Structure 1
Amino acid sequence: MNIFAIETSCDETSASVVSNGLKVRSVVISSQIKIHAGFFGVVPELASRAHIENINHVIWQALSYAGINFTDFSRKIDAVAFTSGPGLAGALLVGAIAAKSLACVYKKPLIPVNHLDGHLYSSLIENKSVRLPFLSLIISGGHTELVAVEDFGKYEVLGSTRDDAAGEAFDKAAKMLGMSYPGGPVIDKIAENGNPEAVRFTRPYLKGSWDFSFSGIKTALLNYLKTNPVRNEKQLNDICASFRQAVAETLCFKSFEAAKKFNLKRIVLGGGVSANSLIRKIFLETGQKNKIKIFIPSLIYSTDNAAMIGCAAYFKQKKCGLKYDDVQLKPNPSLSLENWRL
């Protein structure tokens, strides 16, 4: 089964052709980082405009790389999927309109996909050995979610962030340190040359809860810089290494405690922050020590991409059936992770 998928939830315009959920025949991603860098964050209006400018070309490229053109779309594509939320309203609308148009013109089923479902299953694309049930940690600029996955579309959200998401904490820390946007990759790179024990930032474990909180780490950094302004490269390296260590340890501690509590032998990471080199290293090392298998998507599937939407769409239709959804279906910017309706 070939699914043509579109992802436009935030600042990446992406399209992909996915066969049987796990074989990516093409994936194209157009990033908007240069557009938003000067504002040190995504500007919704600019994001929507960029999606409008990029969507047609991205769709054409994804089809072309998969050896498909518009004349044989009807014969070679079985369904169209798109991100229905959560995300920026205008950005979501661009992808939804494009997907609805294709589904309507070529008379194909339309599969709305939760963006978080995409991150949940992104590791399956390259790791066919992933078995259910598993614990999923979704970490991105807008989300930090700890989810027990019993079956496809059957979840229990154990915890989420009470304030800043992990990626947001990295971005804000980078801004305090005078770095460029997005902050996560910059801090990750600079931290490689620093001492992670140089500064002891708070670890907000929130005992008795599986929730996360990163505002405390952010405030601790702000207070530290007030009395210890950055004066040289070594100090900057050490601060970045220490901040990265605090975030990574917090994520790791919560995840493994939850895995032990609920007797889950597999942890699956997803989201842009899972690209962080220390987070990947700590999870893999801790997993080996605790005999818990760790699955982390490669960098291209860690960040927002349409291949993960196509993957999730395949398993959704397999479990719930292929339905011809109403083209009036509207995207939901505040959509939460919820069980699939059979």
Structure 2
Amino acid sequence: MTLHHLKYFLPKQFCFGAVTRNLSKTTLAIETSFDNTAVAVISSDNRILADEIFDQVKYHNMTGGTDPRFAKSLHKRHLPKITEKCLLKIGATNIDSVAVTTMPGRAICLEIGLQYAKDLCRRLEVPMIPVHHMRAHAVVARMYHSDICYPFLTLLISGGHCLLALVESVDQFWLLGESLDIAPGHFLDCVANVMGLNEMEQFKSKSGGAVLDSLAICGDPDLFPINYRGIRMCGGTPLNFSFSGVLAATKRAVVKFKQVNSEEYFEEMLPHIAAAAMRVVSKHLLHKLTRCMYFLHDKSIDDNRTLVVSGGCASSRVLTEDLNKLCRLRNYKLFIPPPNVCIDNAVMIGYTAHEMVESGFEPIRCEDLETVEVDGFAKIGNDATRSVNISKHITSNFRRLTMSEFSIANEINGFERSSNSFGSFERILKH
């Protein structure tokens, strides 16, 4: 079903005139930021009435990587189809608003979803709610865990993003750290390609990161050493991430190992190589998280001690296990949404739209739709990366803690203050 033919699918009165709206408020959500085409319908009480995802992974694997132009063509082809499936389930007359991802992502992919949403809004005569993709990744955890209260710390890790942010509300985010080069998911995909996993028949339907994670469960990272100088400190931005250096070191180690060993022995070592690659990512994430937790403690803004981890890499069993260990040590509550909403999906877009409206956001009326534009490089919120200052040398040992680490852990865990001591992060930065 194309946009041109949408009027033939919808009931006639929804194409050519105003009608009385259904009292049950529902939102149809659209997600096309890059590598998944997704549509969902969320009720006013946050029940998922319909949820459709067209997974592009196997198609991109056939071309050797994600190509934005190819992704755009897949969005254009499959968005009308999965929208039709959702509308058939719940009925077009039950849609009261349309939510759509408008930032960040690949602009040519975002444009497909936005234009489709605009046409849909006009056909149904309903308003639009533009949603920030990365904010939705963080906020959707509240749909599944009612005890997540603002403010909370979020770590978003995927194939295209890696960032740390303090979330004060659905529309107030403070960016504490981000990747200076590549994201952890991209790191893992590159390592998987060097290992040749994408050419193995049993792995062609999965992303490189997902394959490495499944292999690493049975591997021993100590059996495949990766030599690199250490974690980049990032100067005046101590919570920023950098994976390019360790990626180069990991690729060199894999290529050298393949050259000097038989193919049979290399295949035997695949789980151990995967475990070593996963450790590299985990070590970097834990290091920055440890520093971040100390910073929030030092500024007296960690009352809730809550960490929400989302994004495609949050589905990793290896990373989740290590994050759990760190949170237990730091007395943090760890929340991770279900795997189906860690990947790019429309459920998170619909839920975030509801929170936005509840917090006072006014949906865009049909006559103002042309004012809505995409922004492929939008930040998650206020950039506070250069305002972060850490007074102590904080590190995180992957396998064991030094005495200084135990001391700092006890200092953080033993810190007590009244529950209402949290202040505005903006005020704290000024001081």
Instruction: Work out which of the residue numbers 346, 349, 356 in structure 2 matches 1:309.
Output: 349
State the secondary structure of the residue aligned to 2:223. coil
Q: Describe the SS at the equivalent of 1:9.
A: coil
Confirm whether residue 184 of structure 1 aligns to residue 209 of structure 2.
yes
Assess, with a 3 A threshold, how the Cα gap between structure 1 residues 223 and 199 changes in structure 2: closer, same or farther. same
| Displacement of 1:216 | 1.5
Q: Could you say which residue in structure 2 is the equivalent of 1:193?
A: 218
Do the aligned partners of 1:144 and 1:161 also contact (CA within 8 Å) in 2? Answer: yes
**How far apart are 1:187 and its partner, in Å?**
0.7
Query: Which stretch of the first structure deviates more once superposed, 286-295 or 324-333?
Result: 324-333
Structure 1 stretches of 4+ with a deviation exceeding 3 A read: 199-203
Q: Secondary structure at the match of 1:52?
A: helix
* Equivalent residue letter for 2:352: A
Alignment of 1:29-178 (within 5 A): 29-65=53-89, 68-70=90-92, 72=93, 76-178=94-196
- Higher mean C-alpha displacement, 23-32 vs 255-264: 255-264
Amino acid at match of 1:198: L
| 2: CA distance, partners of 1:268 / 1:302 | 11
State, as a whole percentage, how many aligned pairs show the same letter. 29
2:50 alignment partner, SS class? strand
- 1:337 paired to 2:377: no
Quote the Cα distance in structure 2 between the aligned partners of 1:54 and 1:242: 38
1:253 Cα deviation from its structure 2 partner: 2.6
1:27 maps to a residue whose letter is: D
Q: 2:136 and 2:130 mapped to 1: Cα distance?
A: 11
Conserved? CA contact 1:23–1:125, under 8 Å: no
Structure-1 separation of matches of 2:31 and 2:292: 30
Q: What are the within-5 Å matches in structure 2 for residues 267-306 of structure 1?
A: 267-306=307-346
Compare CA radii of gyration and give the structure with the larger one.
2
Q: How many pairs were matched up?
A: 333
Describe the SS at the equivalent of 1:335.
coil
Instruction: Point out where structure 1 has 5 or more consecutive residues left out of the alignment.
Output: none
Measured after TM superposition, the shift of residue 226 of structure 1 is 4.1
Partners of 1:161 and 1:20 lie apart in 2 by: 36
Structure 2: distance between partners of 1:104 and 1:225: 54
Q: Does the CA-based 8 Å contact 1:40-1:182 persist in structure 2?
A: no
1:205 Cα offset (Å): 5.2
Residues of 1 paired with 2:83 and 2:363: CA distance?
23
Structure 2 length normalisation: TM-score?
Answer: 0.74
Distance 1:109 1:79 in 2: 5
Distance (Å, rounded) in 1 between the aligned partners of 2:218 and 2:361: 51
Farther off after superposition, 121-130 or 205-214: 205-214
Equivalent residue letter for 2:326 = T
Does the CA-based 8 Å contact 1:122-1:302 persist in structure 2?
A: no
Amino acid at match of 2:37: T
* Structure 2 unaligned regions, length at least 5: 1-24, 199-205, 383-431
Q: 2:121 & 2:351 partners in 1: Cα distance?
A: 18
Counterpart secondary structure, 1:323: coil
